[in-house]
Chain A
C-alpha cells in the first residue's frame, strides 16, 4: 500500500511539474508576446520612418524595388514546375463517370489550363495586379482568402517559435560564454548538439508519444483547435489555440535554438576577450555591468544578421512541423495543393511563402541598417 501511495504521490507531483512546465511554455507561446512584438515593431518602424535619414529611406526603397523581379521570377518558376508535372487537377475528374468530358474542357478553358505556361503566367500577373490571385479548384474558394488565412497561421507559429528560440538561446549563449568550460557550458553544448541533430519530425513524434503515455488526454498533441473551439468564449478560444501551439512551437523553436546558442556563445566570447572589456573590468565595474551593459550590446549586433538566415530556416522547418503536427498553415496547404495539382493554390502558397521570406529578410536588413551605420552607406 505504501508503495502505491508513493507512486501516486509521485505521479501527482509529476503531473504538477508537467503542468508547471506547460504553463511556462504557454506564457512563451502566448499571443501577448507576439502581438506586442508586432506592435512594438510597427511603432518602432513608423517612428524611425518619420525621421529617417534619406540614406536609410533610399536603402529601404532600393531593397523593395529589388524584391519585384525576384517575386516575378518565383512566379515563373512556379508556373514552369506545375507545367512540368504530368496531368492537371482535371485529369482525375476524367475518371469520374458523372462528369462529361466536355465540361472538363470548359473547366480547363475557364482556368486557362489549355494555354501554354507563359500565357497562363502573364494572364496570372495581369490578374494579380487587379487583386485576383485565382481560384482554388480543390477548396472552391479564392486563393487569396485561403492562402492569407493559412499564412497567418504560419506567421503565428513561426514568429512565436522565433521568440521562443531567441528568448531562450540568447541567455543560454551568455551563460555558456561567461561560464566557459564549466558544467553550465558543457550542458548547454550537449543540448545544443542534440537540438541541432534531432530532426523536427522525429522530435514531434517523440513528444507526441511521451504526452500520450504520460498524460493521456491532458494536452492536445496535434491540430490547432479543439472540437468545441467555436463554443468557447474569446478568451477560451485564445487559450485553446495557445495550448495547441505549445507542441509545434517547442518542436520548431528547439531546432533553431541550437545553432543560435552556439553563435551567441562565440560572439560573446569574442567580445569578452576585447580590450575594452578588460578596461571595464580594470575600472572595477561589477561583472553584471560588464556583461550586460558593455559586452551584450555588442554581442547582439551580429545576431541580427543571423535573423535573416533564421527566417528562411524557420519557414522551412515550420512547413514540415505543420504537416507532421497537422497545423493548418501554408506548408500543410502547399503539400495538399501539390498532391491535388491545384495549380493556383500551389502558386499562391509559393508566392506567399517567398514574400514572407523576402519581407522577413528585409526587416532583418532594416534592423541591421538601423543598428549598424556601415550597412546603410555601402
Chain B
C-alpha cells in the first residue's frame, strides 16, 4: 500500500460516519414519487389545519335557497365605468326552476342587502330585496332586515340602512356597493345582532383576497372574519353547493380535518398496540403468545368490512361528533392491529436471541423495559413503513363508514359523508360536481401510497430501487 493510499484511508477514517437517519433521509430525497407524495400531503394537511381561513364560508353555513348551485363561473376582467380592470367577479345566481334546481343570473340593477358578521346561527346571510318598485323595496328590506338581522325598525341602524339604500339608488355605478358599520352588537337573549352590513347594487359579486365573511377563531388564537379568498357579498361557490346550499369547497376543507386525521391517529394507535402485543407475544412466548396470536387469528379470519359493520353496530348511534370520531378511530385500530402484531412478533422472535438482549437481561433490566427500550426500537423501521402503508386504508375505512351512514354525521363534514349523496345516481347525473370529494379521497390515498413507497425504499435495506 502506497503512502498516498494510506493517507486517503486515514482521511476517510477521520470522517464522521453518517447517521442512519441521515442516510435514510438522503435515500428518501432521491425518490421522486415519494417526494411528490410528501408535497401533496403537506398541502392537504396544511389546508386542513387552516381550513377556517382558506374556506370562504364556515362548515355548516348554507343558504337553503341555493341547493345544488353549480360551481360559480369567475370572470377575471371587469368592464366598469372607468374602463377594463382586473377585478374578478362572479354573477349572483337565483334559482329559477325549483323542481329542476336550475339557476339564472339575478337581473342587473337590483339592490341586494347582504350582511355578515352576524351571529344568528346558521342561515343568517341572506339576499334581500330584489323588488323593482322603490316603495315596495323599502318595505321588503325593512321586513327582511328585521327578520334576518334583528334590527328594530325604529333603531338608528335601520335609518342608516335606508340612507344607504337611497345613496345606492342615486349612484350611477351599476355595481356600486356600500358598507355600513352598525352600532356595537347588543346581545339580546343570547343572540348577537348584526355588526356590519353590505348593500349591493347590481348582480356581480366581486372576489378578493382576505375578504370579510363569517367570523371564526383562527387556530384558537384570535377572532377574525377575514377569509383567504371569497366575496364580501357571498354568492361565490368555487365547487358549488350541496342540497342545503352549503359551499362544497368549505365543507371539503373542513371535512379534510376529519378524513385526513383519522388515518394518521388510527395508524399511530394501531402501531402502538401492534408493537406492544407483538413484542410481548414474541418476547414471552408460550401461553401469552398463544392467547394473543389465537385472538388475532380470529380477528383476521373475519372479512374486515363485516367486522367493521358489526363493531359499529355494537356501539350506540346517538353520540356526539367527537365521540363518533373517537369510535371510528378505535374501530379502525381494532381491525388493524392483528396483522401488525403478527409481523412484529416474527421480528421479535428473531431479535430476542441476539447478544444485546442477553446483555440487557444480565444487567437486570425488567422484561417490559427490555421490550420497550431494546426489542421494539429494532423494529422501528418496519413500524414506520407500516404506518404510512396503513393510513390509506384507514382513510378509506372512514369514508366507507361515513358513506353508509355509520360514521360521521351531519352537520359535521367528512369526505365520505359528502360522497354519500353519490349513492343517489339521479343527483350525480344532474349535479356531477357533488363527486368532487371522491377526487380528494383519491388524491390523499395516492399521495400516501407514493409517500409510503418512498419511505419503504428509504428505510428498508432489502427493498430494490
Q: Which residues of A contact B (CB under 8 A)?
A: 69-70, 73-74, 77-78, 80-82, 84-86, 193-194, 196-199, 201-202, 205-206, 208-209, 212-213, 221-222, 266, 312, 315-317, 319-320, 323-324, 330-331, 334-335, 338-339, 341, 346, 349-350, 353-354, 356-358, 361
Contacts and interface: CB of A to CB of B under 8 A. Distances in A.
26 contacts: A69-B294, A74-B301, A81-B311, A81-B314, A85-B313, A85-B314, A85-B316, A193-B449, A193-B450, A196-B446, A199-B441, A199-B445, A202-B419, A202-B422, A205-B419, A205-B435, A206-B438, A312-B304, A315-B303, A315-B305, A316-B306, A334-B306, A338-B312, A350-B302, A353-B303, A354-B303
A193 B315 contact: no
Given A209-B435, A320-B305, A201 B419 contact: yes
A81 B442 contact: no
Contact of A198 (B297, B306, B442, B450): B442
Interface in B420-465: 422-423, 425, 428-429, 432, 435, 438-439, 441-443, 445-446, 449-450, 464
Given A197-B442, A209-B435, A346 B313 contact: yes
A318 B158 CA distance: 61
Contacts of B298: 70, 73-74, 77
A197 B310 contact: no
Nearest to A352: B306
A338 B307 CA distance: 11
A326 to B, nearest CB: 9
Contacts of B441: 199, 202
A315 B305 CA distance: 8
A209 B432 contact: yes
Given A205-B435, A324-B423, A354-B303, A212 B429 contact: yes
Contacts of B77: none
B391 interface: no
Contacts of A320: 305, 400
A81 B423 CA distance: 28
A205 B303 contact: no
A338 B445 contact: no
Given A81-B314, A85-B313, A319-B306, 7 more contacts: A77-B298, A81-B311, A193-B449, A201-B422, A338-B312, A353-B306, A357-B303
Contacts of A266: 464
A312 B464 CA distance: 27
Among A77, A201, A319, chain B packs the most CB atoms within 10 A around the CB of A201
Nearest to B429: A212
B315 A84 contact: yes
Given A85-B315, A199-B438, A202-B442, A338 B310 contact: yes
A81 B403 contact: no
Given A198-B442, A323-B404, A350 B305 contact: no
Interface string B284-323: 0000000000110111111111110111111110000000
A82 B314 contact: yes
A221 B425 contact: yes
B399 interface: yes
Nearest to B311: A81
Contacts of B439: 202
A77 B449 contact: no
A372 to B, nearest CB: 20
Nearest to B441: A199
Given A350-B306, A353-B303, A354-B301, A202 B438 contact: yes
A338 B309 contact: yes
A335 B309 contact: yes
Contacts of A358: 301
B95 to A, nearest CB: 23
B396 interface: yes
A199 B396 contact: yes
Listed from nearest, the 10 A-B pairs whose CB atoms lie closest are A202-B438, A197-B446, A338-B313, A315-B303, A81-B314, A316-B305, A205-B422, A84-B314, A73-B298, A319-B305
Nearest to B422: A205
A196 B30 CA distance: 23
Contacts of B399: 199, 201
B435 A202 contact: yes
Contacts of A205: 419, 422-423, 425, 428, 435, 438
Contacts of A86: 316
A350 B314 CA distance: 14
B313 A81 contact: yes
Contacts of A198: 442, 445
A338 B450 CA distance: 36
Contacts of B419: 201-202, 205
B213 interface: no
B202 interface: no
B271 to A, nearest CB: 20
B62 interface: no
A78 B441 CA distance: 31
B392 interface: yes
Nearest to B405: A339
B306 A331 contact: yes
B310 A331 contact: no
